[in-house]
């Protein structure tokens, strides 16, 4: 052991609380961003509203892009704390806290308490990690699970190498891998296995590698991870093909998805967000062979961890910034090791403080900036809709799916979505249209009721008598009856109209049955 049991503010329990407080303190400040935050929180809202905690739904249709753990956490948090941004972002806060605290415990055990506390500094103020820790999608949740699985398996491996007890830790590693699979799919086990396996191969610790392949652990993994997948396959016969073949293997290996980026995208992203800490990272890389075998093994783990995560996610053409979050914790450990090596001079300590101040300021500035200038948010429009709409009046989205409306307007039923749903149109882009069309294959009858062709819109509004239409500014040019309707709210290019088919002008423009120009509305 390289440390004494800490007490007071340095005890692990206090450190864990401080991590959660720091990462979650500003999670309430800004509205949900779309599409990602609006999409995933909207799915959690539908789960909470419907009471079906097994099948995630988007606009009332089964949504199987991702497993359910994020939705379970978010729906549970909103059930307890209410429908606002902080509980909606609890899942990424927990994911970031899990990753940070598990890394802290690992470094504390194998490199000492000082190194562990130092590691939390570049990790906690790194803008990518800090903002990702309060961004309501699945990336930080699975990054935390992957980080915890890696350090648990690595701890078990180091203990096994030294003939120390390791099976309990190994069981926790398998359990955490299963949680990671429920967070975002196969990467929850593939990445930890790749990192720890390659690390042990580089160390030539073959016996330890085989010791980690443990059938009780595999059984525990299956018992935790498999039941939800089995339940969905029994309920929806095409589920496994869609979830694993389409959403995993095709998305990883094939083109045609959004956010195509070059191979060097992730190294550039990590370099940009790590600029304040580069001197310490470079110093650490230069001293990678220093110290005893144990310390060299720990540094090699961090290098393997960061390098393999970056390489793995650089292979597909589609790249999102959040995918590379699992590489941030080991880089922070290497930065701290670079500073902690030897006895840092007064100049080095000042430089470390400046790096922390710059990175922390950038992190807080990013959150404040997104709070003052929230991109694409329709929170105010949704709240206006919630205040003025009667519960039985339908909401119609034309030409787009406005992800955050259902959450902020507290819609108790899926809105109607009007678009050209022909296969050629759906396959044009990997976007909201394709998400809803894919979901419709699992519930065709429900989809027919909420996914409307443009020609069906006037009749739907005539039947409702009073309805609410959300669309772009140009939507009124396509549907002249909107020009006779009340414009209730306008946010950038998005408009909210109240369409009252009880008024003569709207009734005539819609061409409702029984009016003089019935059937003449733009269809």
Burial class (CB in 10 A: 0-12, 13-18, 19+), 515: middle
Helix (H, G, I), strand (E, B) or coil at 440: helix
Using an 8 Å Cβ cutoff, are 406 and 415 in contact?
A: yes
Question: Is pLDDT at 515 greater than 80 in this prediction?
Answer: no
Lowest-confidence pick of 90-94, 163-167, 253-257: 253-257
For residues 273 and 339, membership in a common domain is answered with yes
In a domain, 405, yes or no: yes
For residues 25 and 146, membership in a common domain is answered with yes
Q: What is the pLDDT of residue 341?
A: 79
pLDDT band for position 517 (50/70/90)?
Answer: very low
Using an 8 Å Cβ cutoff, are 330 and 269 in contact?
A: no
Buried/exposed code over 188-204 (b: 16+ C-beta within 10 A; e: otherwise): bbbbbebbbbbbbeebe
The Cβ of residue 237 has, within 10 Å, a number of other Cβ atoms equal to: 10
φ, ψ of residue 413 in degrees (nearest 5): -140, 150
For residues 272 and 362, membership in a common domain is answered with yes
C-alpha 108/C-alpha 429 separation (Å) is: 47
For residues 272 and 400, membership in a common domain is answered with no
pLDDT digits (tens, 9 = 90+) for 172-210: 999 999 999 999 999 999 999 999 999 999 999 999 999
Final residue of a domain: which of 372, 406, 436? Answer: 372
- Assigned token pair, 94: 């927990």
Using an 8 Å Cβ cutoff, are 144 and 180 in contact?
A: no
Tell me the percentage of the chain whose pLDDT exceeds 90: 83
φ, ψ of residue 224 in degrees (nearest 5): -85, -45
Q: What is the mean pLDDT of residues 496-508?
A: 93
Q: What is the pLDDT of residue 2?
A: 46
DSSP 182-249: HHHSTHHHHHHHHHHHHHHHHHT-HHHHHHH--HHHHHHHHHHHHHHHHHHHHH-TTHHIIIIIIIII
pLDDT digits (tens, 9 = 90+) for 417-451: 999 999 989 988 889 999 999 999 999 999 999 99
φ, ψ of residue 17 in degrees (nearest 5): -65, -40
pLDDT digits (tens, 9 = 90+) for 290-344: 777 888 999 999 999 999 999 999 998 889 999 999 999 999 999 999 998 777 7
pLDDT digits (tens, 9 = 90+) for 106-153: 999 999 999 999 999 999 999 999 999 999 999 999 999 999 999 999
In a domain, 312, yes or no: yes
For residues 292 and 432, membership in a common domain is answered with no
Write down the pTM of the prediction: 0.94
Final residue of a domain: which of 351, 372, 393? Answer: 372
In a domain, 70, yes or no: no
Q: What is the pLDDT of residue 522?
A: 38
In a domain, 95, yes or no: yes
Query: Residues with Cβ < 8 Å from 129, sequence gap 6 or more?
Result: 96, 123, 325, 328, 329, 332
For residues 212 and 279, membership in a common domain is answered with yes
Final residue of a domain: which of 372, 389, 413? Answer: 372
pLDDT band for position 5 (50/70/90)?
Answer: low
Lowest-confidence pick of 130-134, 404-408, 505-509: 505-509
Question: Is pLDDT at 470 greater than 90 in this prediction?
Answer: yes
For residues 315 and 350, membership in a common domain is answered with yes
Using an 8 Å Cβ cutoff, are 404 and 34 in contact?
A: yes
Compute the mean pLDDT over every residue in the chain, rounded to the nearest whole number: 93
In a domain, 450, yes or no: yes
Q: What is the pLDDT of residue 521?
A: 39
Question: Is pLDDT at 523 greater than 50 in this prediction?
Answer: no
For residues 368 and 384, membership in a common domain is answered with no
Q: What is the mean pLDDT of residues 474-499?
A: 95
Residue span of the structural domain in which 473 resides? 379-510
Q: What is the pLDDT of residue 287?
A: 81
Q: What is the pLDDT of residue 272?
A: 94
- Assigned token pair, 411: 């819609």
Q: What is the pLDDT of residue 90?
A: 98
Question: Is pLDDT at 1 greater than 70 in this prediction?
Answer: no
In a domain, 71, yes or no: no
The Cβ of residue 478 has, within 10 Å, a number of other Cβ atoms equal to: 14
For residues 295 and 434, membership in a common domain is answered with no
pLDDT digits (tens, 9 = 90+) for 253-274: 665 566 789 999 999 999 999 9
- Assigned token pair, 237: 């016969």
In a domain, 56, yes or no: no
Q: What is the mean pLDDT of residues 470-492?
A: 94
For residues 154 and 205, membership in a common domain is answered with yes
- Residue indicated by tokens 């956490």: 73
- Nearest Cα neighbor of 508 from 495, 494, 521 is 521
In a domain, 67, yes or no: no
Q: How many residues does the chain have?
A: 523
For the chain, the domain total comes to 2
Omega cis (within 30) before 35: yes
For residues 289 and 184, membership in a common domain is answered with yes
pLDDT digits (tens, 9 = 90+) for 212-269: 999 999 999 999 999 999 999 999 999 999 999 988 888 776 655 667 899 999 999 9
For residues 206 and 318, membership in a common domain is answered with yes
Please state, in angstroms and as integers, the Cα–Cα distance from residue 78 to each residue in 32, 49, 53, 67, following that order.
Answer: 14, 11, 14, 19
Using an 8 Å Cβ cutoff, are 127 and 273 in contact?
A: yes
């Amino acid at each position: 052991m390289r440390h004494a049991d800490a007490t007071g503010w340095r005890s692990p329990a206090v450190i864990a609380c401080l991590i959660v407080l720091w990462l979650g303190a500003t999670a309430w400040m800004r509205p949900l961003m779309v599409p990602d935050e609006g999409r995933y929180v909207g799915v959690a809202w539908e789960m909470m509203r419907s009471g079906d905690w097994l099948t995630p739904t988007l606009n009332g249709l089964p949504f199987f892009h991702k497993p359910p753990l994020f939705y379970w956490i978010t729906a549970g948090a909103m059930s307890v704390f209410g429908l606002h941004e902080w509980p909606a972002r609890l899942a990424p806060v927990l994911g970031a806290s899990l990753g940070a605290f598990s890394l802290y415990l690992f470094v504390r055990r194998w490199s000492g308490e000082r190194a562990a506390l130092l590691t939390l500094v570049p990790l906690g103020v790194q803008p990518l990690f800090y903002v990702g820790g309060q961004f309501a999608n699945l990336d930080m949740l699975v990054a935390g699970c992957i980080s915890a699985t890696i350090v648990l398996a690595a701890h078990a491996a180091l203990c096994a190498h030294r003939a120390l007890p390791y099976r309990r830790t190994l069981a926790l590693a398998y359990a955490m891998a299963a949680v990671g699979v429920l967070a975002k799919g196969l990467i929850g086990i593939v990445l930890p296995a790749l990192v720890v396996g390659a690390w042990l191969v580089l160390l030539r610790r073959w016996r330890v590698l085989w010791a980690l392949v443990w059938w009780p652990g595999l059984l525990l993994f299956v018992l935790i991870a498999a039941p939800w997948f089995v339940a969905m396959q029994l309920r929806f016969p095409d589920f496994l093909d869609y979830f694993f073949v389409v959403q995993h293997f095709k998305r990883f290996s094939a083109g045609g998805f959004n956010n195509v980026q070059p191979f060097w995208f992730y190294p550039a992203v990590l370099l940009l967000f790590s600029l304040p800490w580069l001197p310490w990272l470079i110093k650490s890389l230069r001293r990678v062979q220093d110290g005893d075998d144990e310390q060299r093994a720990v540094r090699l783990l961090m290098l393997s961890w960061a390098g393999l995560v970056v390489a793995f996610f650089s292979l597909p053409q589609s790249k999102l910034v959040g995918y590379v979050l699992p590489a941030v914790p080991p880089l922070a450990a290497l930065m701290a090791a670079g500073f902690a090596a030897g006895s840092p001079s007064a100049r080095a300590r000042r430089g470390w403080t400046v790096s922390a101040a710059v990175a922390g300021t950038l992190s807080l500035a990013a959150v404040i900036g997104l709070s003052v200038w929230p991109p694409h948010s329709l929170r105010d429009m949704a709240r206006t809709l919630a205040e003025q709409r009667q519960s039985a009046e339908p909401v119609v989205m034309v030409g787009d799916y406005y992800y955050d409306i259902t959450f902020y307007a507290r819609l108790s039923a899926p809105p109607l979505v009007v678009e050209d749903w022909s296969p050629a149109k759906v396959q044009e882009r990997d976007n909201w249209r394709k998400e809803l069309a894919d979901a419709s294959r699992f519930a065709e009858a429900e989809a027919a009721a909420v996914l409307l062709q443009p020609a069906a819109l006037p009749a739907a509004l005539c039947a409702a008598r009073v309805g609410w239409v959300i669309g772009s500014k140009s939507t009124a040019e396509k549907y002249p009856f909107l020009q006779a309707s009340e414009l209730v709210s306008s946010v950038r290019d998005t408009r909210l109209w109240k369409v009252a088919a009880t008024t003569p002008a709207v009734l005539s423009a819609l061409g409702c049955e029984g009016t003089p120009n019935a059937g003449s509305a733009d269809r």
